[in-house]
Amino acid sequence: MPDATPESKYAMSDRRKSVRLKDEVYRQMFRLEECRPGAEMGLALALIRAWLAADSDPESGEQRDWLKKVSPICLQMIETALKAGPATVRTGKGHSC
């Protein structure tokens, strides 16, 4: 098997980083849905990390497109959780923390 060129190793590294950051955002979204303490901050930080990574890579068009779609949803989730306050009791109706 031929060795990968440095360019392809670099591209694979960027791809892995992108996937890892995307996974982090999704994990934090699930944590927020489960009303875990500190999940609002975790999701906000995951979004910031993802945007910083996208800004540092000029060829991150796919990642930027994904972030443009998911960021408004994440921000709405954070705002809703913060408005709900510190109560962490689930109700039988809908999904409230």
What are the pLDDT digits (tens) for 70-89?
999 999 999 999 998 865 44
Contact criterion met (CB below 8 Å) for 40 and 28: no
How many Cβ atoms are within 10 Å of 54's Cβ, its own excluded? 20
* Residue 30, pLDDT above cutoff 90: yes
90 within a domain of the structure (yes/no): no
* Residue 6, pLDDT above cutoff 60: no
* Residue 38, pLDDT above cutoff 80: yes
Number of domains in the chain: 1
1 within a domain of the structure (yes/no): no
Mean pLDDT to the nearest integer, 12-29: 89
Full DSSP string of 39-77? HHHHHHHHHHHHHHHHHH-TT-HHHHHHHHHHHHHHHHH
Domain enclosing residue 33, as ranges: 6-84
Buried b or exposed e, range 58-70, using 16+ CB within 10 angstroms: eebeebeebbeeb
13 within a domain of the structure (yes/no): yes
- Mean residue pLDDT of the chain comes to 83
pTM of the model: 0.75
